[in-house]
Amino acid sequence: MGVVNDGAVDGGATSDEATSDEATSDEAEERKRRLRRRLERLIGIAATEGNEVAALRNGDEIFPAMLESIRAAEHTVDMMTFVYWRGEIAREFAHAMAERARAGVRVRLLLDGFGSRLIEGDLLEMMDEAGVQVAWFRKPLWLSPLKQNHRCHRKVLVVDERTAFTGGVGIAEEWCGDARDATEWRDTHVRVRGPAVDGVAAAFAQNWAECAEVLFDERDRFVEHEPQGDSVVQVVRGSASFGWQDMQTLLRVVLETARERVRLATAYFAPDPYFVEMLCATARRGVEVELLLPGPHTDQRASQLSGQNHYEELLACGVRIWHFQPTMMHAKIVTVDGIASLVGSTNLNRRSMDHDEEVMLVVLDEEFTAGLDRDYDADLGRSVRIVGARWRRRPTVQRVREAAVMPIRRFL
């Protein structure tokens, strides 16, 4: 990170400094334009202007913002999540949605049939009695074997068609707190206002359409969005399918466009050889590539082992790898050259790329990206860097474990 000059020596910038700043600003705008057009044409989804995007760090910021928005709802609440488990925060969300439903607000809750199987039955009964419309995405007992492995991993909340939230957070005690210890997971969510809300709402509608008969009703006002900020945002939806999909295109374009630095944080790093080569190719052409991954605290050890099988190749290419130490690293973040960010539900694993319904925001905004980079720097300060020479000397038992999970890596 650079140091900002506070201008205390002189009364203002010189003409040369002003010209340099202007050139730098013009260059940043051109690089954002280039990335925007590449993504729009290659993915086929238009970005929108005039958005306000706020990053929310960990449960202490995320949950109060989401609950405040739900409690203020006047027309509609649409929420879907992969994880809805047990605990006080799960009850708090359920009661907030039930209260709004009793007040006449249309409330819809879409739960993944596998990821939310631990939700408490009395909460479902209470919400149903209050009028909350609860639907399940692909309950395992109702599915063919082919569909069982295709889950809805999206996390979306849309309130009154004006405010949307998305990111990595599930509704469970694990996400409460501020990542102070192993009981408080590290994650990032974002709040969006402006035209990009429609893209997030479409992610909900796409999955709701599979699970419910009524897609929209008289409560949907289909509002016109006024500008709320200065961020350009593209909403990319990944859907379970065979073959290449948009999330893979998104990451490929970002890596191939980067010129200075790409920083990635993910909960589950289990890539295929193609993605490993993309990371290496990016690093070999002089781009600084950093990976921030879970360390001693992970809820998916098999996924971690699958990723570690590629460490030697990545380190040899110049990729820097860090293990987060205090707790589970669950954020899904990419920042590019200080001008663009990706935030959402997608992990860097085969499951996210090939099997799951995902949603990712591309935010073209230097200020927003700088905030995520500051968070990344803070996280690196609580992480251990993996050193190539030391990693090559890891025990044989570690190597055996890495090799043992490779046959199932496509499911991780």
Q: pLDDT digit of tens for each residue in the chain (412 aa)?
A: 333 333 333 344 454 544 345 558 889 999 999 999 999 999 999 999 999 999 999 999 999 999 999 999 999 999 999 999 989 999 999 999 999 999 999 999 999 988 888 899 999 999 999 999 999 998 876 555 556 667 778 999 999 999 999 999 999 999 999 999 999 999 999 999 999 999 999 999 999 999 999 999 999 999 999 999 999 999 999 876 555 588 899 999 999 999 999 999 999 999 989 999 999 999 999 999 999 999 999 998 999 899 899 999 999 999 999 999 999 999 999 999 999 999 999 998 776 666 688 999 999 999 999 999 999 999 999 999 999 888 888 888 888 787 888 777 666 5
**Which of 333, 314, 323 minimizes the C-alpha distance to 293?**
323
pLDDT the model gives residue 410? 64
Domain total in the chain: 1
> Are the CB atoms for 365 and 378 separated by under 8 Å?
no
pLDDT the model gives residue 231? 98
Cα–Cα distance, 326 to 65 (Å, whole number): 24
Amino acid (one-letter) located at 275: F
Domain assignment of residue 1, yes or no: no
> For 72, phi and psi rounded to 5 degrees?
-95, 0
Domain assignment of residue 16, yes or no: no
409 vs 184, 290, 404, CA distance in Å? 27, 22, 10
Q: What is the pLDDT of residues 80-113, one digit of tens each?
A: 999 999 899 999 999 999 999 999 999 999 999 8
Output the domain CATH number for residue 61: 3.30.870.10
Q: Any idea of the CA torsion for 403, 254, 363, 35, to the nearest 10 degrees? A: -170
SS3 51: strand
> Are the CB atoms for 76 and 154 separated by under 8 Å?
no
Cα–Cα distance, 259 to 261 (Å, whole number): 6
pLDDT over 70, % of the chain: 89
Cα–Cα distance, 156 to 359 (Å, whole number): 9
In the block, residue with structure tokens 């609580």 = 382
Domain assignment of residue 295, yes or no: yes
pLDDT the model gives residue 4? 31
Domain assignment of residue 21, yes or no: no
Cα–Cα distance, 332 to 340 (Å, whole number): 14
Domain assignment of residue 104, yes or no: yes
Cα–Cα distance, 295 to 303 (Å, whole number): 12
Domain assignment of residue 43, yes or no: yes
pLDDT the model gives residue 407? 75
CA atoms within 13 A on the CB side of 43: 26
Q: Any idea of the CA torsion for 55, 60, 63, 68, to the nearest 10 degrees? A: -90
214 vs 197, 205, 209, 218, CA distance in Å? 21, 10, 7, 11
Dig out the tokens for 144 from the structure: 């063919």
pLDDT the model gives residue 395? 85
Buried b (16+ CB within 10 A) or exposed e, 110-138: bbbbbbbeebeeebbebbeebbbbbbbbb
Domain assignment of residue 154, yes or no: yes
Cα–Cα distance, 12 to 15 (Å, whole number): 9
Cα–Cα distance, 338 to 343 (Å, whole number): 14
Q: Which domain holds residue 44?
A: 26-211+221-411
Cα–Cα distance, 341 to 337 (Å, whole number): 9
Domain assignment of residue 19, yes or no: no
